[in-house]
């Protein structure tokens, strides 16, 4: 089992040095249920890391903590050396103001299992809404950027359609374009194909392979698509009961896993 020693989040305030993401002694519990306990790991700039493991092992909770959709019970998360939600003040752990949290969270984009598109807006409006109102882009610039992204995901001809007029796979590709429209430095992917019919999975994964190949966005991925994980990841972490029990390159993880629990899991899903 790898030793979960806290990474050093040095490089505070720098966008050029140090890891992109640091989890330091992270703890999350819901009531009496401890989902993550003293979790430590880091993700380097431009690195693509996939989290695998059984349902309920804490993988999605990590992504939701990074998006500040859940609140840390204990510990710290750093993005580019800056604390995301809580900071150390001497011996105290202090919750940051919402404005500070929002400033850092803008660097992070997430694609969810369930698309989460606005049904009353067109595809184009779904993509331009946040760049206009959050980033302050002009409508013309946001529209041009959105059409370029739709072209990249193969849906430029559906710009005026509404989500209900699209297949699930098309909706997920729009959701990917929407996340990329915010120009995130970090992209979180949470089981993005789990709600799709099997025949629609390939197109979505190909879009994400293209993103991985053509950008230097740091990616933290939760997936049961093991071939996709093998194709795009620099590193794979195996989770069980809120702990990292093994980490390795995808070549090693998927051909010669060392931990018995990893072997059992991969035998079940491959």
Q: What is the pLDDT of residues 174-219, one digit of tens each?
A: 999 999 999 999 999 999 999 899 999 999 999 999 999 999 999 9
In eight-state DSSP terms, residue 164 is G
140-172 confidence digits (pLDDT tens): 999 999 999 999 999 999 999 999 999 999 999
Neighbours of 218 (CB within 10 A): 24
Handedness of CA 133, 136, 138, 144 (dihedral sign): negative
Which residues, in sequence order, are CB contacts of 241 under 8 Å at separation 6+? 57, 58
15 has a pLDDT exceeding 60 = no
In eight-state DSSP terms, residue 58 is S
Q: Where are the domains of the chain?
A: 117-179
228 has a pLDDT exceeding 90 = yes
4 has a pLDDT exceeding 70 = no
Q: Are strands 218-222 and 48-52 parallel, antiparallel or unpaired?
A: parallel
- Band of residue 8 on the pLDDT scale cut at 50, 70, 90: low
Find, among 129, 87, 127, the residue nearest to 104 by Cα.
87
195 and 113 in contact (C-beta within 8 Å)?
A: yes
- pLDDT at position 9 is 60
What residues form DSSP beta bridges with 93? Answer: 88
């Amino acid at each position: 089992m790898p030793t979960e020693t806290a990474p050093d989040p040095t490089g505070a305030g720098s966008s050029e040095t140090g890891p992109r993401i640091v989890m330091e002694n992270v703890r999350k519990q819901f009531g009496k249920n401890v989902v993550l306990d003293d979790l430590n790991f880091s993700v380097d700039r431009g690195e693509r890391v996939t989290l695998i493991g059984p349902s309920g092992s804490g993988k999605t909770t990590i992504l939701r903590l990074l998006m500040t959709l859940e609140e840390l019970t204990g510990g710290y998360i750093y993005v580019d050396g800056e604390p995301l939600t809580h900071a150390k003040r001497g011996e105290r752990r202090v919750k940051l103001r919402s404005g500070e949290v929002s400033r850092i969270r803008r660097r992070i984009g997430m694609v969810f299992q369930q698309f989460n598109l606005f049904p009353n807006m067109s595809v184009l409006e779904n993509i331009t809404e946040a760049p206009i109102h959050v980033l302050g882009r002009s409508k013309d610039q946001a529209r041009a950027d959105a059409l370029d992204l739709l072209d990249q995901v193969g849906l430029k001809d559906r710009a005026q359609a509404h989500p209900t007029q699209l297949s699930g796979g098309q909706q997920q590709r729009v959701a990917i374009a929407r996340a990329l429209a915010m120009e995130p430095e970090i992209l979180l992917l949470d089981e993005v194909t789990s709600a799709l019919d099997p025949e629609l999975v390939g197109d979505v994964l190909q879009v994400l392979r293209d993103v991985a190949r053509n950008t230097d966005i740091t990616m933290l991925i939760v997936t049961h698509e093991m071939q996709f994980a093998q194709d795009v990841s620099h590193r794979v972490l195996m989770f069980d009961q809120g702990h990292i029990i093994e980490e390795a390159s995808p070549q090693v993880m998927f051909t010669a896993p060392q931990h018995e629990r990893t072997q059992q899991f991969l035998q079940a899903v491959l």
